[in-house]
Amino acid sequence: MNKNMRDEKDDIFSSLKWLIVVSIILSVIFLGFYWYNVSLPVNNHISDKNDDWSAFASIVGACGSLIAAFGTIGVIGISIKQFRYQQEQIDKQDSRWEKEFEVLNFNKYMNHIDSFEQYLKKIEIETNGRLYSNKKNKIYKSIFENNNFYTCSYELNENEIFKPGKKNYAKLYDNIIDMINRCEDFELYNIINIFQHFMSSYGFIFEKSSQPGDLIINGNDTKFGVFSIYKKHLVLRYYIQQSLLFGRCDTSFENLKIINIKSMQSVIKKTIELINSDNKECSIQDNNFNCIYYVLKLILHLYEFNFVYKSKYNDITLKFANLVTLDPEEYNEPIFLREICYAAKQSIDENKSRIKKESEIKELYSCIDNIKSSVQRISHIDFD
């Protein structure tokens, strides 16, 4: 038994003992007083009246009841003390369990975050280091938004992740891709700005350097543009898909949007418009030959006519479905530019009847000539 409980019981027994002693003394006094009144000193003999002895018996009974009452009070006191003690022990046990439960939840939550961050590092390795995040904790809080130090769920609610109005990073990504697919309704530099803000918010960094055609906003290279945005969004989409799989969200492959190849035609148009505009906030990363504008004009033409061109000299196929996925940095740039010119010239010759304006044909040939002269000033590559 607990020492405090024993001490409390000892106090009760001590108090009860004195109550019983006092009740006995009082009983003796009452009985003695009555005995004195019905005995020899008064009548010189013991009373033989039934009424006197009945009264005496009543007094004896009353004294016994007094002693029993004090005993009952003592038992009730002990019961109350025991109940209070037991209640205090239950409350203490509940408090201990609650604290232990909080510690368990805290450890569960922190271990889940750590496992998630290690999982993301594996994804980054799978992307060959092309993309990584230095804000993995923020990504975790974005998709496991209901997890905290008190409760931690290992599974994601698939319906909640892609629910309209949600602001987790998967849904924000979807909103941006939707803007790109409707590029004609937005300013290109606004889309890229939003994309950059998204990347910065979640600490995403593309290791690869900027490419020709990337937008420069307020002097800062966005690393996104006509040649890079399509491939980079595929890497980012893969990263997000895999992160959602950590929470057993298998529908991420179906729900996450992808850039529509056809929408890239609008991206090219918007880029050309931007080059021709007086927008001081935004400019285009040019190529080494300062002819990116002419290159984009030719690519736009190839898009419009869905032209397919197979190079005789290089493993490069230019067609509507993969033109924008062609990465100039993966090829010798002069050769890349030459193949664009070859494809455009062949397309113009074959589609002259479909081109509405003669001025447009002249402009396209002028673009070819400008690219050719720009390349040959620096490189000795043969365009014939």
Q: Where are the domains of the chain?
A: 3-110, 127-285, 288-384
Q: How confident is the model at residue 117 (pLDDT cuts 50, 70, 90)?
A: very high
Q: How confident is the model at residue 76 (pLDDT cuts 50, 70, 90)?
A: confident
Give the DSSP letter of residue 380: -
Compute the distance between CA of residue 23 and CA of residue 66 in angstroms, rounded to an integer: 7
Q: How many C-beta neighbours within 10 Å does residue 63 have? A: 18
By the 10 Å C-beta count (0-12 exposed, 13-18 middle, 19+ buried), 211 is classed as buried
Pick from 146-160, 262-276, 306-320: least confident: 306-320
In tens, the pLDDT along 302-340 reads: 888 776 666 655 545 554 444 544 555 555 678 778 888
Residue whose entry in the numeric block shows the structure tokens 């009555």: 34
Pick from 58-67, 159-168, 176-185, 187-196: least confident: 58-67
Residue 220: C-alpha distances to residues 54, 154, 194, 215 (Å): 114, 39, 14, 9
Q: What is the pLDDT of residue 321?
A: 42
In tens, the pLDDT along 26-50 reads: 666 666 665 665 554 545 555 556 5
Q: Chain-wide mean pLDDT for the chain?
A: 78
Q: Is-above-0.85 flag for pTM?
A: no
Residue 339: C-alpha distances to residues 7, 343, 375 (Å): 99, 6, 12
Which one-letter amino acid corresponds to residue 377? Answer: R
In tens, the pLDDT along 213-262 reads: 888 888 888 888 887 888 888 899 999 999 998 988 776 667 788 888 77
Q: Which residues pair with 283 in a beta bridge?
A: 216
By the 10 Å C-beta count (0-12 exposed, 13-18 middle, 19+ buried), 218 is classed as exposed
Q: What is the pLDDT of residue 40?
A: 47
| Coil vs helix vs strand at 247 | coil
Residue whose entry in the numeric block shows the structure tokens 């003695």: 32
The fraction of the chain above a pLDDT of 70, given in percent, is 72
Q: What is the pLDDT of residue 31?
A: 60
In tens, the pLDDT along 173-205 reads: 989 999 999 988 888 888 888 988 899 999 998
Q: What is the pLDDT of residue 46?
A: 56
Planar angle of CA 66, 69, 71, nearest 5 degrees? 115
Q: What is the pLDDT of residue 225?
A: 83
**Nearest Cα to Cα of residue 216 among 284, 306, 267:** 284
Compute the distance between CA of residue 211 and CA of residue 286 in angstroms, rounded to an integer: 8
Q: What is the pLDDT of residue 19?
A: 65
Q: How many C-beta neighbours within 10 Å does residue 71 have? A: 14
